[in-house]
């Protein structure tokens, strides 16, 4: 009791507060005391913080102890109080951060102070000390943990058996199994039938309830009570994983019983030995295509159907039951439309993975799948299930028994009908690999343009990038430069004429100054003063004319006016000082005039540069990544396989296989060069021939997004759309679309046409003859209207970034869950064009062309925009 009181005093001393009433304190877990080698919980309680956001847990390091962070969560209490008839609601939030601590030696354990931050709020604790005691080891208990002695594999679920032996019934039993809290394992426990007969084991932030069995055993002549429990581990990473020793602490009776038969108790501890588990990766060699991660020694598969007689197009429910000698908590079922599953030409199954139902013992899992019958089937074929046997270190495949199925007549548009065209009325003719239209594929008439692009044309791409913006910039810059230059010429014509008068006046003064040294002052002084006044007028120096100029200006002009009346002026020239002052005044006026002119020119140039920079920034394109390199090998392989397919007119299977090879090669090239519309059209044609309507639709849409005028992509996409139900077809063009036909043009064409129209309009507005002619200005209205239309089309165009294509047959569901009801009775066929509305985890919400919305697995659709 004295130690407990001392501990409470220490914890109270560790609490510090701030002026904003936030404080934090450490607290031991409920009914826990620190002991050497026994993990205990240390909680940090923080008060005064808000309910959100969650504060980050500080790093806690304690000397001579192992510290592991467990969890952080708020404890929120809400209440109401009435004071003087007024209601006040309040919220109290206490954030609890928890660590698991294992002390390595006895004595005082120093807990350092930490600081917790939430936005602008802070709460700190002072250092504290805990008293750690040692627990003696006893022979009255024994603990062992049995793990597999062989290497185990990723995905394998292995049992771990815990055996605890004791002579007398323990009290306050506490198990510490580090393996249950390790990051490298997924831990599970069998179901608990009797809650009173279960062990509680900490497993990180949660607790496991392990059912146990109890019996008596004899070891070396000593009788023990034995408790045996089992948990299951599934490794998540490869390598040698070191498992620390497990331990158990319990209060055992000591001494003699008192008068009432009660014993005193004392804590004792028993420790197991550490273990090492080697986890290996599953081999890639001989891995079956339908392998879905099942690992174990014994499996069986059984399939039943809801009925044996169906009509064409109706669904049939399959119950696939997998049994094993081990628990199947993590078991998943592979795709049923692949190898070893249901034939795609006769059955359509959901693309999203099925959720199995686990039996009570966890060793049987049942998957219920609804399959739509779309072909003339006589049976549900044997379904393959593959697993990896860790003891044989080899993959095994088992099969269910086939089930007879009777399909009555009916009609259905199946998702596997890749080219659901009208029946051919007569045998088709073929003129070579470049033939287009009228081709027969799998006995169906295809009204499509199936010719390949010309050699070399598949690598062409629409004008774009730096070259496009260079052309647009030139078309904008040259007319604007001509307009600015011509307008400047007309605006400065008077100034330039005035500059000529200034030069004439300056030369007149220089001539008079040259003569003033030899000609009498009476003849020169008057004309020189008059010449200075004329120059002052031209330079805008009105002060020199009115007498308000500088002292030097007024004195010199006065001297010049009185010089002609001085004695000797009739015979003697002007004095040297006067001539020198006059020459200096002329130089000063001319220099000041030039500086003023340069300043004005500089300001005008700066304004022009700023305007030019603004225009350049407005027209500068965003930087784009350069396309991937040219893949000549893939293109050559694709063209070769395509031509081979076009030559195979009698062998439908070989023909489809050749188209599939061409599709794969063109697809590889298209991924390397995604901005080549002709290559994308070739890819679509190969996919169409291979029966992959989804890839064909995707390729044609991407080609038209780059070049709306691509004839092959436009024609073939229109034909594919015509084969779908009306509710699944995208809306056709309206009268407004016909009127605004340019709205469907590629972006580059709109930019070129708009900049060319702008250039024509500006050239018509340039005043070539000295003034703008009204006729030309009127004609500029038409190209300006074209420029505005192109600019508006570029700015407000809808590039359909959310358009997508269904890539595999999939059920449209009413919610983002595999268990949600179907929104449509029939699965969405491949190739349907739709709009993506929302993403949520592994699900995508889409809207069909008819307006219906629903959810599909995210991997079932692919966006057209890359």
Owner of token pair 């018509």: 764
Give the Cβ contact number of residue 566 at 10 Å.
Answer: 15
Provide the sign of the torsion angle of the four alpha carbons 583, 587, 593, 594, taken in this order: positive
Can you give the pLDDT at residue 463? 60
Q: What angle do CA 312, 847, 346 make, to 5 degrees?
A: 20
Burial classification of residue 264, based on how many CB atoms lie within 10 Å of its CB (0-12 exposed, 13-18 middle, 19 or more buried): exposed
* Alpha-helical runs (H) found in 620-725: 632-647, 652-672, 677-690, 693-706, 711-722
Instruction: Name the nearest CA neighbour of 826 among 363, 260, 410.
Output: 410
- The residues of the chain scoring below 70 in pLDDT are 1-20, 205, 259, 261, 408-446, 457-465, 489-498, 542-558, 561, 563-569, 594-632, 732-746, 767-778, 796-800
Q: Which 3-state string (H, E, C) describes 442-481?
A: CCEEECCCCCCCCCCHHHCCCCCHHHHHHHHHHHHHHHHH
Rounded to an integer, what distance in angstroms lies between the CA atom of residue 713 and that of residue 705? Answer: 10
Beta bridge partners of 242: 276
CA separation for the pair 839, 856 (Å, rounded): 10
What pLDDT does 96 receive? Answer: 92
What are the phi and psi torsion angles at 177 (to 5°)?
A: -115, 95
Token representation of residue 100: 């698991």
Distance CA 184, CA 236 (A): 5
Domain spanning 141-280: which superfamily? Immunoglobulins (2.60.40.10)
Domains 141-280 and 418-453+631-723 in one fold = no
Handedness of CA 820, 823, 825, 831 (dihedral sign): negative
Q: Characterize 177-210 residue by residue with b for buried, 16 or more Cβ atoms within 10 angstroms of its Cβ, and e for exposed.
A: bbbbbbebbebbbbeeeeeeebbebbbbeeebeb
Q: Which of 216, 223, 214, 122 is nearest to 173 (CA)?
A: 214
What are the sequence ranges of the domains in the chain?
Answer: 2-132, 141-280, 299-408, 418-453+631-723, 493-616
Report the pLDDT value the prediction gives residue 443, as an integer from 0 to 100: 43
pLDDT recorded at residue 115: 92
Q: How far apart are CA 661 and CA 658, in angstroms?
A: 5
Environment class of residue 524 by beta-carbon count within 10 Å: exposed (0-12), middle (13-18) or buried (19+)? buried
Q: How far apart are CA 431 and CA 178, in angstroms?
A: 75
For 459, 693, 830, 834, the CA distances from 805, given in Å and listed in that order, are 25, 10, 8, 6
Q: What would the 3-class secondary structure string for 110-174 be?
A: EECCCEEEECCEEEEECCEEEEEECCCECCCEEEEEECCCCCEECCCCEEEEEEEEECCCCEEEE
- The answer to whether 353 and 333 are in contact (CB under 8 A) is yes
Please identify which residue in the block is written with the tokens 């889409």: 846
What's the gap between Cα 593 and its chain centre? 64
Bridge partners (DSSP) listed for residue 395: 388
Residue 777 pLDDT: 66
pLDDT at residue 653, as a whole number = 79
Res 193: pLDDT: 82
> What tens digit of pLDDT does each residue of 166-188 get?
887 787 788 888 888 887 888 88
Which pLDDT value is given to residue 379? 86
Please count the residues of the chain: 866
What is the helix (H) or strand (E) element at residue 675, kind and residue range? none
Cα-atom radius of gyration of the chain, to the nearest Å?
Answer: 46
- The pTM of this model reads 0.42
Specify the CATH number of the domain 2-132: 2.60.40
The whole-number pLDDT of residue 695 equals 92
What's the CATH number for 299-408? Answer: 2.60.40.10
Residues forming a β-bridge with 304: 319
- The class of domain 418-453+631-723 in CATH terms is mainly alpha
Instruction: Specify the pLDDT at position 492.
Output: 65
Q: Which residues pair with 137 in a beta bridge?
A: 269
């Amino acid at each position: 009791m004295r130690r407990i009181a001392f501990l409470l005093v220490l914890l109270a001393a560790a609490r510090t507060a701030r002026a904003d009433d936030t404080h934090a304190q450490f607290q031991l877990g409920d009914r826990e005391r620190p002991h050497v080698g026994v993990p205990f919980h240390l909680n940090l309680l923080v008060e005064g913080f808000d309910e959100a956001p969650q504060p980050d847990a500080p790093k806690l390091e304690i000397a001579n102890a192992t510290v592991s962070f467990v969890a952080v969560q708020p404890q929120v209490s809400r209440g109401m109080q009435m004071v003087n008839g007024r209601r006040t609601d309040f919220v109290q939030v206490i954030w609890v951060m928890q660590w698991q601590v294992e002390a390595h030696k006895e004595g005082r354990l120093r807990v350092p102070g930490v600081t917790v931050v939430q936005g602008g709020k802070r709460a700190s604790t002072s250092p504290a000390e805990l008293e750690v005691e040692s627990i003696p080891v006893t022979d009255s208990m024994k603990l062992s943990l049995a793990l597999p002695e062989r290497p185990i594999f990723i995905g394998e679920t292995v049992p771990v058996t815990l055996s605890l032996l004791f002579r007398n019934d323990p009290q306050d039993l506490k198990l510490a199994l580090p393996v249950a809290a390790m990051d490298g394992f997924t831990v599970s426990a069998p179901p608990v039938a009797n809650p009173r007969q279960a062990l509680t084991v900490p497993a990180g932030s949660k607790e496991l309830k392990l059912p146990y069995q109890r019996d008596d055993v004899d070891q070396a002549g000593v009788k023990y009570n034995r408790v045996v429990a089992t948990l299951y581990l599934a490794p998540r990473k490869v390598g040698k994983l070191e498992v620390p020793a497990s331990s158990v602490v319990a209060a055992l009776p000591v001494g003699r019983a008192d008068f009432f038969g009660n014993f005193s108790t004392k804590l004792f501890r028993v420790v197991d030995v550490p273990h090492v588990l080697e986890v290996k990766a599953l081999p890639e060699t001989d891995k079956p295509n339908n392998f879905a991660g099942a690992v174990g020694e014994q499996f069986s598969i059984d399939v039943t159907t809801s009925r044996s007689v169906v009509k064409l197009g109706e669904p049939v429910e399959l119950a696939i039951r997998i049994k094993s000698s081990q628990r199947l908590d993590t078991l998943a079922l592979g795709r049923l439309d692949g190898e070893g599953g249901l034939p795609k030409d006769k059955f359509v199954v959901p693309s999203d993975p099925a959720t199995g139902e686990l039996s009570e013992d966890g060793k049987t899992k049942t998957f219920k799948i609804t399959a739509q019958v779309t072909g003339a089937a006589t049976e549900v074929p044997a379904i393959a299930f593959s697993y990896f046997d860790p003891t044989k270190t080899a993959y095994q495949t088992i099969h269910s028994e086939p089930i007879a199925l009777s399909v009555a007549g009916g009609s259905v548009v199946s998702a596997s009908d890749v080219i659901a065209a009208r029946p051919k009325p007569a045998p088709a003719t073929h003129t070579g690999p470049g033939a287009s239209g009228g081709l027969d594929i799998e006995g169906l008439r295809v009204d499509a343009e199936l010719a390949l692009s010309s050699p070399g044309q598949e690598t062409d791409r629409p004008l774009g990038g730096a070259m496009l913006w260079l052309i647009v910039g030139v078309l904008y810059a040259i007319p604007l430069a001509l307009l600015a230059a011509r307008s400047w010429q007309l605006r400065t014509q008077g100034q330039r004429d005035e500059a000529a008068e200034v030069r004439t006046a300056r030369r007149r003064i220089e001539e008079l100054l040259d003569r003033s040294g030899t000609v009498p002052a009476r003849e020169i002084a008057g004309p020189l003063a008059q010449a200075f006044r004329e120059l002052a007028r031209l330079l805008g120096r009105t002060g020199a004319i009115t007498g308000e100029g500088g002292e030097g200006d007024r004195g010199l002009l006065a001297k010049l006016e009185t010089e002609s009346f001085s004695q000797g002026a009739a015979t003697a020239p002007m004095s040297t000082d006067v001539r020198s002052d006059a020459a200096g005044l002329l130089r000063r006026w001319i220099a000041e005039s030039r500086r003023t002119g340069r300043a004005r020119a500089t300001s005008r140039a700066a304004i022009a540069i700023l305007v030019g920079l603004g225009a350049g920034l407005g027209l500068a394109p965003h930087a784009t990544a350069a396309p991937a390199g040219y893949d000549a090998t893939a293109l050559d392989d694709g063209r070769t396989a395509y031509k081979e397919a076009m030559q195979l007119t009698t062998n439908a299977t070989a023909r489809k296989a050749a188209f599939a090879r061409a599709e794969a090669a063109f697809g590889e090239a298209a991924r390397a060069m995604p901005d080549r519309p002709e290559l994308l059209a070739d890819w679509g044609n190969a996919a169409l021939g291979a029966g992959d309507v989804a890839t064909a639709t995707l390729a044609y849409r991407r080609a038209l997004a780059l070049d709306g005028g691509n004839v092959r992509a436009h024609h073939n996409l229109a034909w594919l759309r015509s084969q779908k139900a009306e509710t699944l077809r995208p809306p056709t063009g309206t009268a407004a679309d016909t009127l605004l036909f340019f709205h469907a043009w590629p972006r580059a064409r709109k930019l070129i046409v708009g900049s060319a129209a702008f250039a024509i309009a500006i050239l018509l507005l340039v005043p070539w003859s000295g003034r703008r002619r009204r006729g030309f200005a009127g004609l500029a209205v038409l190209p300006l209207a074209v420029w505005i239309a192109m600019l508006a089309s570029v700015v407000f165009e809808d590039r359909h970034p959310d358009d997508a294509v269904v890539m595999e047959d999939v059920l449209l569901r009413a919610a983002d869950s595999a268990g949600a009801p179907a929104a449509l009775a029939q699965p969405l066929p491949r190739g349907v064009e739709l709009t993506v509305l929302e993403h949520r985890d592994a699900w995508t919400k889409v809207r069909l062309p008819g307006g219906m919305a629903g959810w599909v697995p995210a991997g079932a659709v692919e966006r057209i925009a890359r």
